[in-house]
Amino acid sequence: MIEATSQSVDVSDVHKRYHHNEVLKGVSFHVPANTVTSVLGPSGSGKSTLLRSINRLIPIDSGLIRVGDNIIGYEERGGKYYELSDRDLCRQRQRIGMVFQNFNLFPHKTVLANLVEGPQVVLGRPKRETEEEARELLASVGLAAKADEYPGQLSGGQQQRVAIARALAMKPELILFDEPTSALDPELVGEVLDVMRRLAEDSSTTMIVVTHEIAFARDVSDQVVFMADGVVEASGPAREVLDPERSPRIKSFLMRST
């Protein structure tokens, strides 16, 4: 679908607190390049905070996050905080796509304009070329006919497929999905998961997907990370992690989600 070099992600002993509330309590896991990792866990366990830390939308208190060769956040023993320069951070972010629960499309722009905004404004690429690519991407998510419509004219499932296409238009090396199907009516979930499934199979982009869709996690991911109360309770192949016998928390999560 797209040609991009994908990046590995290393998360090592990451801590993050909001005031007195420690939300990430030493989170570590590794995502090899060109693989799909699903992050599961109860609400409030720190999954969104983790994704935002990887994208450096929020600073972490300590620990190390590495995306490819770039260190995103690190605190030395002496308390010195190291991070990328603003310029490098900006460049790094351009390589990371993010898909949110609530789509976050520009409502006053057409679907096509949503897709070409980043490539044209941020990457400075030519109009004709970016529009051609955008139309190809829209076709690949089954929305070729919607290029000139506005997000408000589309269903939630269609908007989310546009949001995925928009993320892909930047040719990201890593895409972070934060519960991309949680805001959708049940009958619209399948069309979005199908697009994500195809992306996982066809592209060479590293994907980290926070989701409650157990079937997606089982079928599509190379690895499942189960978070509970700010720590990684278990990680590894889906069939090992999503075993109700593994822990009481995983058992109760599986029972509530099916």
Nearer to Mg ion (CB atom), residue 51 or residue 241: 51
To the nearest 10°, report the CA torsion of 18, 20, 26, 31: -20
Which partner in ligand ADP, Mg ion, none is near 120 (CB below 5 to 8 A by kind)?
Answer: none
Q: How far is the CB of 43 from Mg ion (least distance, A)?
A: 7
Sheet of strand 62-67, all strands in order from the earlier edge strand to the far edge: 21-31, 9-18, 62-67, 70-75, 81-82
Q: Binding-site residue total for ligand ADP (CB under 6 A)?
A: 11
Which partner in Mg ion, ligand ADP, none is near 18 (CB below 5 to 8 A by kind)?
Answer: ligand ADP
Q: Is 63 in the site for ligand ADP (CB under 6 A)?
A: no
Nearer to Mg ion (CB atom), residue 179 or residue 191: 179
Per CB under 5 A, residues contacting Mg ion are 47-48
Q: Is 14 in the site for ligand ADP (CB under 6 A)?
A: no
Spatial contact of 10 and 65, defined as CB atoms under 8 Å apart: yes
Cα-Cα end-to-end distance for the chain: 32
Which partner in ligand ADP, Mg ion, none is near 23 (CB below 5 to 8 A by kind)?
Answer: ligand ADP
Q: How far is CA 149 from the centre of its chain?
A: 26
Nearer to Mg ion (CB atom), residue 47 or residue 146: 47
Nearer to ligand ADP (CB atom), residue 47 or residue 166: 47
**Which of 34, 37, 38, 47 touches ligand ADP by CB under 6 A?**
47
Spatial contact of 105 and 142, defined as CB atoms under 8 Å apart: no
Spatial contact of 225 and 40, defined as CB atoms under 8 Å apart: yes
Q: Give 258's contacts (C-beta < 8 A, 6+ positions apart).
A: 214
Q: How far is the CB of 45 from Mg ion (least distance, A)?
A: 9
* Contacts to ligand ADP by CB under 6 A: 18, 21, 23, 41, 43-49
